[in-house]
Amino acid sequence: MKISAVFKHVLSMAAVAAFAAVAVPAQAWEPTKTVEFIVPAGSGGGADQMARAIQGIIVKHNLMKEAMVVINKSGGAGAEGFLDVKSAKGDPHKIIITLSNMFTTPLATGVPFNWRDLTPVKMMALDEFVLWVNAETPYKTAMEYVDAVKKAGAGKMNMGGTGSKQEDQIITAAIEQKTGAKFTYIPFKGGGTVAVQLVGKHIDSSVNNPIEAVAHWRGGKLRPLCVFDTQRMPYKDKMTSTMSWNDIPTCKEAGLDVNYLMLRGIFMPGGVSQDQVDYYVNVLRKVRETPEWTALMNKGAFNQTSLEGKEFADWVAAAEAEHIALMKAAGFMAGGK
Amino acid sequence: MDALNSLLDGFAVALTFTNIALMFAGVILGVIIGVLPGLGGANGVAILLPLTFSMAQTPGGQTSAIILLSCIYWGALFGGAITSILFNIPGEPWSVATTFDGYPLAQKGRAGAALTAAFTSSFFGAAVGVIVITFLSPIVAEFALEFGPPEFFAVYMLTFCAFIGMGKEPPFKTIVSMMLGFALAAVGSDTVTGTLRMTFGTATLLTGFDFLVAVIGLFGIGEILMTLEEGLEFRGASAKLNLKVVLETWKELPKYWLTSLRGAAIGCFMGIVPGGATPASFMSYGVARRMSKDGDKFGEGMVEGVVAPETAAHAAGTSALLPMLTLGVPGSPTAAVLLGGLLIWGLEPGPLLFVEQKDFVWGLIASMYLGNIAGLIVVLTCVPLFAAILRIPFSVIAPIIIVICAIGAYTVHNTTFDVYMMVVFGVVGYAFKKLAYPLAPLVLAIVLGDRAEASFRQAMLVSHGDMSIFFSNKLVGGLTGLALFLLFWPLISWLIRRLR
């Protein structure tokens, strides 16, 4: 109870105005108590940032009458968070933000969980992955780099990434399968650490998200080679003196036919009613219309695709099938399946 | 002098009425957060983060927002020492080393002196940390880039070696305790392979054993069990209750200038690398115990044994913000949350932050000076108040402590399982004390075990299993060499004596 006491104390101190009641249009269902927003990842990471930004936008624009608290449940590569939501069947006061570990964690560890245990609410955005090398290396294109990796010999060049048997390593495995190059994959705890390890030349490349590496790119320490998307990123503001996000070629254009996007979506527990899902869909639609959200999207050069309802569920099912195929080929499945 | 001008501009930004009010509010809140075990600085900052989101949208608001959050951080750094000294319950991981001498001091009736020494050393450590950030940030940021997996492992090894083999306990008891800690640290998800270890197929063990739950149980509950056995007698009741104790302690502190400087240097190094405040405090305590001429008396209630870990912890906590600002790498869990905050507010930590967001950066740095002064004022004036808590009869305070401990253990992961674990750890702590096994190596191994393991295995991946990577350049070779030297110091000094 101490948390909420402290929380309320400061609320009253810093943002009294924000809590003045504001008319919310009449709806079939509304939360009747505090909503828990579960983050199946540690504090400070990409999913956590997005969850806290959403929470901040909701508070600032009074999009919900009841309060929302963000709770990190990162244990077991996110399994803790997913199992928590799975066991809260029928509870409409709980939502969860997901990343690719929704697929990878149960597949790699055998934890009894599948996304079908949850109710898809809305895809908020997709996170891009970019192939980065240190700016002092001679590689100007993705293929130059891949050729250098092949030439150096199997396992001589190091690819750094976040976590093990998760998105970064899956992309690495996909590059290996397409090109025959062989990396040594080094797992680190966070994306920011990976970017700094690359700047310090302790690893040879990374597949950092834009937001994790942008500061070092702009500082002239890292060079982007290609983006693992089917289209170039749409952001045309110059990030360095010569390049914008839009100037980075897709990996396919560059001759490396690999693409991968990471889901940033919101889910509810299973067994909730359509009314309850609609309530959150509405709130999240309003979140996406705010200038703060647009600023966050620009900052992280996100792919702004957003889906709801059946389309979203179909997308998730397809993404799951892709993950199973990729992880099987790479030998990342639990129990060597 | 460029830095000095920028700093003065920073003071102009930070010194507004609102910002100073926020500073005091932040520090007080931080002290409360630091005192409550379980509710750490990282949690406290994370809870308030969404509120600052609206704040940060107004002009100059980003600076106010970071001032509020960073002052909570300073407050928590100060506050962690209070319960360590009074009740042997570390409120924060970096105050574990403070209990070693702080609690015995309190038992001797010198709680006021221990608190004053802890707060003053904290302030000194922070001041050194801020000065380093102010004048050396470009050089220091480059230095942090030198650290890859082998260097990190060498730093952790140095921490272990600085601490090992110097206790009064037989070395084998220390090793047993440390190995138990490593085993507990290995439970849960393995970063390097992504598989689950020693969870026995249960969901409750997925998260592993959290350090805080272990510490609350081992120290807090264990201590209460000990006191119960000894007949409900609280031994610190004769604490002095006026501010004179502050002045008296201040007269004593200059004697320990060397320990302070060493602590500050270790702290800054560990903060920048970034290794974190917890290893810094342990390393500083270990080194002080070895270097001090009163080293034998450490653990019986030496003011010097409070000065060493507190200076290092605060210096590390402060300088940990530097890699966060210049590289985007958090040096502590709290810094990780602050980093998330910067990104949400639309700032971009990294090499260009100092160029593009001058007002923000220097406002923050100026607020570090001011926030720590505010913190020192707040906590020092409260010393008699804190010490007075010890006058409450044990039969009243013990149930309160147990309830607060249980809440703290629950807060860590919001599970009741952790409360049961706390009780189990309490019994283990009691047994350890009865059998004269040291608790500190166990705690150190739980905190650093998985990080040390991950760095070691990352290094082994890089070198394809070749151990010579730990001597592959001057930096890592020097660190490894120093660690081995410290480890074998008892043997070496014995040999030197024989040769003479």
One domain, residues A214 and A296: no
Note the pLDDT of residue A17: 41
Q: Do B351 and A216 touch (CB under 8 A)?
A: yes
Please list every residue in chain A whose beta carbon sits closer than 8 Å to the beta carbon of residue B207: 74-76, 80
Q: Do B194 and A165 touch (CB under 8 A)?
A: yes
Note the pLDDT of residue B61: 82
What is chain A's length?
Answer: 337
Q: Do A59 and B50 touch (CB under 8 A)?
A: yes
Please list every residue in chain B whose beta carbon sits closer than 8 Å to the beta carbon of residue A56: 49-54, 344
Cβ atoms < 10 Å from Cβ of A64? 19
β-pair partners for A205: A133, A159
Looking at the domain assignment, is residue A28 inside a domain? no
pLDDT in tens, chain B (500 residues): 577 888 888 888 888 888 899 999 999 998 888 877 766 677 778 778 877 877 877 777 888 888 898 898 888 888 888 888 988 888 777 888 999 999 999 888 888 899 999 999 999 999 999 999 888 887 887 888 889 999 999 999 988 887 775 556 677 888 899 899 999 999 988 888 888 888 888 888 888 888 888 888 998 898 888 888 877 665 555 555 577 888 888 988 999 999 999 999 999 999 888 888 888 999 999 888 888 888 788 888 899 999 999 999 999 999 988 888 888 877 777 887 888 888 778 788 887 888 888 888 888 899 889 999 999 999 988 888 887 887 788 888 888 889 988 988 888 777 889 999 999 999 999 999 899 898 888 988 988 888 899 999 999 999 999 999 999 999 999 999 999 988 887 778 788 888 88
One domain, residues A175 and A274: no
Please list every residue in chain A whose beta carbon sits closer than 8 Å to the beta carbon of residue B49: 52, 56
Cβ within 8 Å of residue A63, ≥6 positions away: A57, A283, A286, A287
* pLDDT at position A99 over 80: yes
One domain, residues A285 and A329: yes
Looking at the domain assignment, is residue A22 inside a domain? no
> What is the percentage of chain A residues whose pLDDT exceeds 70?
91
Nearest residue to A81 (alpha-carbon basis) of A40, A36, A35: A40
Q: Do A296 and B344 touch (CB under 8 A)?
A: yes
The complex scores an ipTM of 0.88
| Total domain count, chain B | 1
Which range of residues forms the domain containing residue A177? 130-247
Instruction: Report residue A13's pLDDT band, with 50, 70 and 90 as the boundaries.
Output: very low
On whether the CB atoms of residues B301 and B117 are closer than 8 A, the answer is no
What count of Cα atoms within 13 Å lies in the side-chain half-sphere of residue A315? 21
Please list every residue in chain B whose beta carbon sits closer than 8 Å to the beta carbon of residue A221: 351
One domain, residues A162 and A226: yes
Calpha distance A113→A93 (Å, rounded):
20
Overall average pLDDT of the A254-261 stretch: 94
Does the pTM surpass 0.90? The reply is: no
Note the pLDDT of residue A46: 82
* pLDDT at position A281 over 70: yes
Note the pLDDT of residue A59: 87
Please list every residue in chain A whose beta carbon sits closer than 8 Å to the beta carbon of residue B333: 43-44
State which of A214, A247, A280 marks the end of a domain.
A247
Note the pLDDT of residue B244: 80
Q: What's A175's domain CATH number?
A: 3.40.190.10
One domain, residues A159 and A230: yes
* Minimal Cβ distance to B191: which of A163, A196, A212: A163
Overall average pLDDT of the A169-186 stretch: 95
Q: Do A109 and B195 touch (CB under 8 A)?
A: yes
Q: Do A2 and B199 touch (CB under 8 A)?
A: no
Instruction: Give the nearest chain B residue to A161 (CA atoms).
Output: B192
**Residue numbers of B between 275 and 294 with CB closer than 8 Å to A:** none
One domain, residues A141 and A241: yes
CB burial string B237-251: b at 16+ within 10 A, e below: eebbeeeebbeebee
Note the pLDDT of residue A194: 93
- Helices and strands counted in chain A (H then E): 11, 10
Please list every residue in chain B whose beta carbon sits closer than 8 Å to the beta carbon of residue A108: 194-195
* Minimal Cβ distance to B188: which of A14, A76, A193: A76
Q: Does B176 touch chain A (CB under 8 A)?
A: no
Note the pLDDT of residue A64: 93
One domain, residues A105 and A141: no
Looking at the domain assignment, is residue A157 inside a domain? yes
Which range of residues forms the domain containing residue B253? 2-499
* Minimal Cβ distance to A108: which of B194, B413, B454: B194
Q: How far is CA A295 from CA A10, A218, A290, A298, in A?
A: 26, 18, 9, 5
Q: What's A281's domain CATH number?
A: 3.40.190.150
Give the best residue of B329, B421, B448, B464 to mutate against chain A (max A CB count within 10 A): B329
Q: Do B413 and A187 touch (CB under 8 A)?
A: no
Give the best residue of A9, A16, A43 to mutate against chain B (max B CB count within 10 A): A43
One domain, residues A290 and A276: yes
Overall average pLDDT of the A274-297 stretch: 94
* Minimal Cβ distance to A56: which of B50, B149, B194: B50
Q: How far is CA B260 from CA A197, B113, B134, B372, in A?
A: 32, 16, 20, 17
One domain, residues A135 and A64: no
Q: Does B204 touch chain A (CB under 8 A)?
A: no
**Residue numbers of B between 315 and 354 with CB closer than 8 Å to A:** 323, 327-330, 333, 336-337, 339-341, 343-344, 346, 348-353
Please list every residue in chain A whose beta carbon sits closer than 8 Å to the beta carbon of residue B329: 192-193, 196
Looking at the domain assignment, is residue A134 inside a domain? yes
One domain, residues A148 and A224: yes
Q: How many CB pairs under 8 A join A and B?
A: 202
> What is the percentage of chain A residues whose pLDDT exceeds 90?
74
Q: Does B61 touch chain A (CB under 8 A)?
A: no
Looking at the domain assignment, is residue A26 inside a domain? no
**Cα torsion through B83, B88, B92, B96, rounded to 10:** 140
Distance from CA of B304 to the nearest CA of A (A): 34
Note the pLDDT of residue A1: 41
State which of A184, A217, A247 marks the end of a domain.
A247
Looking at the domain assignment, is residue A135 inside a domain? yes
* Minimal Cβ distance to A43: which of B36, B194, B337: B337
Q: What interhelical angle do B474-487 and B489-499 show, nearest 10?
A: 70
Please list every residue in chain A whose beta carbon sits closer than 8 Å to the beta carbon of residue B48: 7, 10
On whether the CB atoms of residues B432 and B439 are closer than 8 A, the answer is yes
Looking at the domain assignment, is residue A233 inside a domain? yes
Query: Which residue is it, tokens 């939501």?
Result: A85
Looking at the domain assignment, is residue A171 inside a domain? yes
β-pair partners for A159: A185, A205
Q: Does B208 touch chain A (CB under 8 A)?
A: yes
| Total domain count, chain A | 2
Q: Do A44 and B47 touch (CB under 8 A)?
A: no
Q: Do A75 and B147 touch (CB under 8 A)?
A: no
Please list every residue in chain B whose beta carbon sits closer than 8 Å to the beta carbon of residue A196: 144-145, 323, 327-329
**Residue numbers of B between 155 and 174 with CB closer than 8 Å to A:** none
Q: Do B188 and A75 touch (CB under 8 A)?
A: yes
